[in-house]
Structure 1
Amino acid sequence: MDPRLELLQLLEQHPDASPAREIAQRAGISTAALTRLRTAYQFGGAEGVANAQHQHQPSPGTLEAAADAIRATPDMRNRELVLRDNTITYPVVGVQIRLGRDDRWYPYTRTTADWVAAPAPAADPAAAFSRAIAAARRRHNE
């Protein structure tokens, strides 16, 4: 098992702030990075954490088919999407979906510092993309 995953599970059992700092130090990462991984864990479990940490190359045509599904939605016709590795990014709004090795799409939103997991992975890329857009709107309104 991934040692960071074990630490995240420990953090879920002890959610107060002081162990988070200690856990981040033990993992050799910043508290902010630990927070991002914790969010990925809460929304996607072990695969969400793996997806947050590692990119991979999906089967040929997978990203293009997913981008076509996204562009088929009314609000996304003729929009510029960036396809790279296992990600589809809409930089204008700061949203991204990442294909996990479990064939689910994980939504992310852009913060000033990094990409942060958003709720709920989906098998349908258009659904995951819609969830990323909704999460970005919520973050913008906070």
Structure 2
Amino acid sequence: MYDLGVDILWLMPINPIGEQNRKGGLGSPYAVRDYLAVNPEFGTLEDLRGFVDYDQPGLREYMADAMAHWVREADVDGFRCDVAGYVPVDFWEVARAQLEQIKPVFLLAEWENRDLHAGAFDATYAWSWNETMHHIAHGRASATDLKV
């Protein structure tokens, strides 16, 4: 990884740009043609992953330190971590251990994956469980459907 000399890099939309009714030769990067693809002018999905994945030790350290900062400086009791499943579980486990050295915290993952409970999160959202409970209450499912 190259040292860019910056702390934050803001990526504009990285998706392929729509071509219909394009303004000028380039078009607007906000006129997205495919929300699930990387504009080939910028590289591949693997290139993007290598650029922003939690594979970089410095990124992991910075993120864990930022969480610890709020626990230490503002006496925060925990965090709700949005889309936690897009971050490697081992990052959360290490960050959790570091936070627990300061004080006990509560971590809520905005994600639905029981593996996040093993060493990182106290709770996760249970959208499918909630939906199944609703189906049970309306006679469209049984309690055995909760075992997924």
Quickly name the TM-score band, shorter chain normalised: under 0.3
| Larger proportion of strand | 1
Relative contact order, CA 8 A, sep 6+: which one is greater?
A: 1
Alignment TM-score, normalising by the size of structure 2: 0.26
Q: Determine which structure has more spread, i.e. the larger CA radius of gyration.
A: 2
| Larger proportion of helix | 1
